[in-house]
């Protein structure tokens, strides 16, 4: 893919303070891009005067007004763009001045790439945040993690990655062909892993590009909105939905076998979050069932590709 222009999209919901802190670095990075690069904000119906603040302080930045569909708002806006590659950012991301170029180069040189992701640290540069994601199944549920045992040795090594959450560059056309972020997971958690997994099933991959640097203020939006308990509930619900939507063969059997034990443990220990997560996931099951029917890959082939995914990213 030849990339002759690009765009940076920042997703925002009630993040005026985050935009004030992070936007200058994003604009500076766009100016250092090796190809023409615009910066836009997708505002998901904020109520904190984010749009008015942008109009006053950054009138040159286009604002796309969308209903709050969380990450799925990217799907709608990317369908209106024409750039071959687009960077997707949360509003709590700062960019190194030279962050854009390596991500675009990775998309160009890897013909099977869906996305590329940078080396990401906390704002103070002291704690590694990811984006080299590994995957495991633990007690019947899928987990995606970056800070796995021994991760320190591979922070600066380019590799494949299973997913990328708060920042990634995407092949726009492939992203849309895949359906983008699945609104099934609204308001969020796990949808980045779902995107990476389903890309793999189509023969597309995600690349970790440590030459590109970004900085993330983790849980800057979710924790204030939902609290730690609410975040845990969302993670559990969406992990269940991921399994029901995507897993086949022995892994689906293992997931089903662990569910009674997980539910019994939740009841005996008073872990109401998991019980609520299970009930909410059950309510969304009709959507999952429809998606399992619509993807068109034979079960045996799906299972083979699935196991290749878990072998590649196992830790």
Q: List, in order, residues 6 or more apart from 150 with CB less than 8 Å away.
A: none
Handedness of CA 73, 105, 125, 149 (dihedral sign): positive
Give the β-pairing of 205-216 and 37-43: unpaired
Q: Output the CATH code of domain 6-222.
A: 3.90.550.10
- Strand (E) positions, 133-204? 134-138, 141-145, 159-161, 167-171
DSSP 49-93: SHHHHHHHH-TTSEEEE--S-GGGHHHHHHTT---SEEEEEETTE
- Angle, CA 207 vertex, CA 204 and CA 208 arms, to 5°: 160
Summarize the confidence of residues 255-266 as an average pLDDT. 96
Residue 293 has pLDDT above 80, yes or no: no
More confident residue, 79 or 290: 79
Residue 222 has pLDDT above 80, yes or no: no
Output phi, psi for 216, to 5 deg.
-125, 135
| % residues pLDDT > 70 (the chain) | 98
pTM > 0.85: yes
- Rounded to 10 degrees, the C-alpha dihedral 211/91/72/87 comes to -30
Residue 219 has pLDDT above 70, yes or no: no
* Closest to 242 (Cα-Cα) out of 232, 229, 228, 252: 252
- Mean pLDDT (the chain) is 95
> Residue 230's pLDDT is what?
82
Residue 226 has pLDDT above 80, yes or no: no
Q: List, in order, residues 6 or more apart from 224 with CB less than 8 Å away.
A: none
pLDDT tens-place string over residues 65-116: 999 999 999 999 999 999 999 999 999 999 999 999 999 999 999 999 999 9
Taking the alpha carbons at both ends of the chain, their separation in whole angstroms is 32
Structural domain spans, the chain = 6-222, 223-313
Confidence of residue 225 (pLDDT cuts 50, 70, 90): low
Total Cβ atoms within 10 A of residue 255: 21
Question: Picking from 55-64, 143-152, 219-228, which range would have the lowest pLDDT averaged per residue?
Answer: 219-228
Residue 220 has pLDDT above 80, yes or no: no
> Residue 227's pLDDT is what?
80
Residue 139 has pLDDT above 80, yes or no: yes
pLDDT tens-place string over residues 8-55: 999 999 999 999 999 999 999 999 999 999 999 999 999 999 999 999
More confident residue, 231 or 60: 60
> Residue 221's pLDDT is what?
64
Q: List, in order, residues 6 or more apart from 311 with CB less than 8 Å away.
A: none
Helix (H, G, I), strand (E, B) or coil at 214: strand
Summarize the confidence of residues 114-129 as an average pLDDT. 96
> Residue 292's pLDDT is what?
81
Residue 233 has pLDDT above 80, yes or no: yes
Structure tokens at 89: 């950012």
Helix/strand/coil percent split, the chain, to 5: 50, 25, 30
Structure tokens at 142: 């899928």
Residue 223 has pLDDT above 70, yes or no: no
> Residue 291's pLDDT is what?
84
Whole-Å CA distances, 80 to 77, 85, 115: 5, 13, 19
Output phi, psi for 271, to 5 deg.
-85, 75
Residue 224 has pLDDT above 80, yes or no: no
Confidence of residue 270 (pLDDT cuts 50, 70, 90): confident
Structure tokens at 252: 């689906």
């Amino acid at each position: 893919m030849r990339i002759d222009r690009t765009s940076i999209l920042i997703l925002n919901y009630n993040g005026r303070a985050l935009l004030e802190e992070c936007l200058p670095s994003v604009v500076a990075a766009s100016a250092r891009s090796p190809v023409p690069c615009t910066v836009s904000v997708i505002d998901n119906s904020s109520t904190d005067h984010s749009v008015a603040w942008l109009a006053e302080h950054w009138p040159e930045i286009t604002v796309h007004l969308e209903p709050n569909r969380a990450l799925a708002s990217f799907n709608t806006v990317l369908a209106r763009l024409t750039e071959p590659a687009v960077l997707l950012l949360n509003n709590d991301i700062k960019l190194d001045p030279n962050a854009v170029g390596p991500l675009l180069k990775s998309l160009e040189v890897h013909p099977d790439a869906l996305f590329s992701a940078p080396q990401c640290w906390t704002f103070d540069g002291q704690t590694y945040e990811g984006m080299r994601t590994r995957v495991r199944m633990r007690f019947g549920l899928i987990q995606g993690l970056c800070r796995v045992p021994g991760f320190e040795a591979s922070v600066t090594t380019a590799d494949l990655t299973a997913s990328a959450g708060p920042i990634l560059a995407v092949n726009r056309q492939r992203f849309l062909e895949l359906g983008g972020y699945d609104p099934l997971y609204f308001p969020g958690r796990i949808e980045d892993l779902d995107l990476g997994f389903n890309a793999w099933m189509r023969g597309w991959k995600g690349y970790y590009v440590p030459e590109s640097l970004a900085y993330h203020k983790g849980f800057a939006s979710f924790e204030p909105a939902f609290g730690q308990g609410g975040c845990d509930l969302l993670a559990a619900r969406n992990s269940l939905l991921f399994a029901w939507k995507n897993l086949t063969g022995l892994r689906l059997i293992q997931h089903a076998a662990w569910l009674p034990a997980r539910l019994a443990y939740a009841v005996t220990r008073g872990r109401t979050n998991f019980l609520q997560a299970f009930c909410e996931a059950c309510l969304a099951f009709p959507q999952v069932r429809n998606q399992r029917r619509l993807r068109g890959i034979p079960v045996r082939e799906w299972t083979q590709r699935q196991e290749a995914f878990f072998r590649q990213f196992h830790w």
